[in-house]
Amino acid sequence: MDEPLIQAIGLTKRYGSRTVVDRLDLEVQRGEVYGLLGPNGAGKTTTILMLLGLSEPDGGRARVVGLDPTRHALEVKRRVGYLPDDAGFYGDLTGRQNLRYTAALNGLNGARAEGRLDDVLERVGLTDAADRPSGQYSRGMRQRLGIADALVKDPSVLILDEPTIGIDPLGVVEILTLIRHLVTERRIALLLSSHLLDQVQATCDRVGIFYAGRLIDEGSVADLGRRFGGSRSRLAVAFEDDRGGLDRAAVGRILGSIPGVLAVEVANPQDAEQSLVDPLPLGTIGWILELADDAAIPAVRHELLRRVGEADLPLAELRQLVPSLGEIYRRAVEHEAGAAAADQASVA
């Protein structure tokens, strides 16, 4: 594997007696979207400022594109695109003029700069609005202009701090799709800081759970689900019920009698504990089957299909449930808090 484009080893930052970032170890590879997930105040933005050379660490070290941001801050800034949570532009200048100013600051002028501006404006979908004053842009358009601004220097690394805050749902989809496309196409490393669980889950290759200045754990959502999703496995089953004629009690009895099924409950999409990340098909009613572990899934699935066929039930969907990132985060934080309490008790 190539050297990571973002690396932190024991990175620490204190403000007085308060440790804001506590011995952070972090790596982000080329072609990867890494989500730094945590609530406001967890230390995410402080971490970003240290990676950009805008704040000096009190301990540990960082490397971004192979450089120490503290000693080579200007060079790091030339090679890293950064979008803060609320991108600021000169409102009386057009989107293109704002980008032209950024290009000039990075030594790009003339035809070369204009070609680059046309390219990044097209990538973020702002070609038609490029010559309108940026003060007339919606927040979503300003965020897209911010991504274009970050891309002007053709960076190896993109760092986005809460890029979708205050954007309407359609705009969020557009931003996240753009992020994923940029990483795939350009093979850059992208660090996404956010407290929005569903967006991190939908976009990131790996997720770091950040809490009270510490990285509790990291990995893909599937990996984290295996560690913090509980020891039991679950299946979601849905049947067509457009006219409400399905005998729910009978279906529940059939599902509950399958060997290996420990518990059955009607699926409730409002219940976060059930982790129905993807909604069930319209016109269906669903159940959650709880099993002892993943090893029980093949036999339960085979027997379920056999019994559904015998009963001539209109099966619409059968899938394994993975824990939502919200459930994973909650359990990881609870585990961390419990471990910290145990440590304090042992010292006392």
CATH of the domain at 250: 3.30.70.100
Lowest mean pLDDT among 118-122, 138-142, 308-312: 138-142
Q: What is the pLDDT of residues 41-95, one digit of tens each?
A: 889 999 999 999 999 999 999 999 999 999 999 999 989 999 887 778 999 999 9
Q: Which residue has the higher pLDDT, 149 or 335?
A: 149
Indicate whether 100 pLDDT > 70: yes
The whole-model pTM stands at 0.76
SS (H, E, C) the chain: CCCCCEEEEEEEEEECCEEEEEEEEEEECCCCEEEEECCCCCCHHHHHHHHCCCCCCCEEEEEECCECCCCCHHHHHHHEEEECCCCCCCCCCEHHHHHHHHHHHCCCCHHHHHHHHHHHHHHCCCCCCCCCEHHHCCHHHHHHHHHHHHHCCCCCEEEEECCCCCCCHHHHHHHHHHHHHHHHHHCCEEEEEECCHHHHHHHCCEEEEEECCEEEEEECHHHHHHHHCCCCEEEEEEEECCCCCCCHHHHHHHHHCCCCEEEEEECCCCCHHHCCCCCCCCCEEEEEEEECCHHHHHHHHHHHHHHHHHCCCCEEEEEEECCCHHHHHHHHHHHHHHHHHHHHHHHC
**Residue 343: inside a domain, yes or no?**
no
Give yes or no: residues 104 and 142 share one domain. Answer: yes
Identify whether residues 176 and 280 lie together within a single domain.
Answer: no
User: Out of 37-41, 157-161, 183-187, 223-227, which region has the weakest mean confidence (pLDDT)?
Assistant: 223-227
Residue 131 shares a structural domain with residue 158: yes
Q: How confident is the model at residue 119 (pLDDT cuts 50, 70, 90)?
A: very high
Question: Domain check: are 108 and 252 in the same one?
Answer: no
Domain end (from 163, 194, 226): 226
* pLDDT exceeds cutoff 90 at 157: yes
Reported as a single tens digit per residue, the pLDDT across 253-293 is 999 999 999 999 988 755 545 555 456 777 889 999 999 88
Domain interval for residue 284: 231-322
Q: Please provide the average confidence, as pLDDT, over all residues in the chain.
A: 87
Q: Are residues 202 and 245 in the same domain?
A: no
- Check whether residue 77 and residue 160 sit in a common domain: yes
